[in-house]
Amino acid sequence: MSEDLGTRLRAALEPLLAPDEQLRGVCAATQTGMFKGQLVAVGASDHRLFVQGVDRRFAPSGPSLVIGPGELAGADLSGGGGGWLNLSLVVMDQVSVALRLKTTSGEKRKLVMMRGGSGVLGRLGGGEEQLQGLEALGQWLAAHAPGG
């Protein structure tokens, strides 16, 4: 992810922050549904997780999902290919992750994110900032997911 993309994702999420709250990391994801997908900005602070749809200019689009402590009913993290034994899906498992979230109020989201990093595919998948965002997301889930 270029610095510009990271800056744009942070700008989409910052209006959701409390005055004393800081984002620990941001990443880009695709929120998938039955027949559609949408680009979303995902961010984690120490206490809350944020999912905000963005339009093609990275302006916030649609309602946001903000999950605080005690509001996450379940989370499932797996490879982006879904574990199927198909060469292209095995590759997807290596370069992406799928996250299913369920809140205590019944909201559900399925997010697919590139892993990012420094290799060729990592740079194409968002680079180091994407990887740092996924690490911040993982830390938040470890601290706040039921049984985490």
Arithmetic mean of pLDDT, 19-38:
92
Closest residue by Cα to residue 92 from 113, 109, 75 = 113
**pLDDT cut 90: percent of the chain above it:** 59
Is 134 within 8 Å of 115 (Cβ atoms)? Answer: yes
Does position 89 have pLDDT exceeding 90, yes or no?
A: no
Closest residue by Cα to residue 66 from 45, 82, 35, 96 = 45
User: What whole-number distance in Å separates Cα of residue 71 and Cα of residue 62?
Assistant: 21
Distance from chain centroid for Cα 87: 25
**pLDDT cut 70: percent of the chain above it:** 80
- Tell me which fold the domain 3-144 belongs to: PH-domain like (2.30.29)
Closest residue by Cα to residue 1 from 95, 136, 143, 115 = 115
Does position 73 have pLDDT exceeding 80, yes or no?
A: yes
Closest residue by Cα to residue 97 from 69, 137, 59 = 137
Does position 99 have pLDDT exceeding 80, yes or no?
A: yes
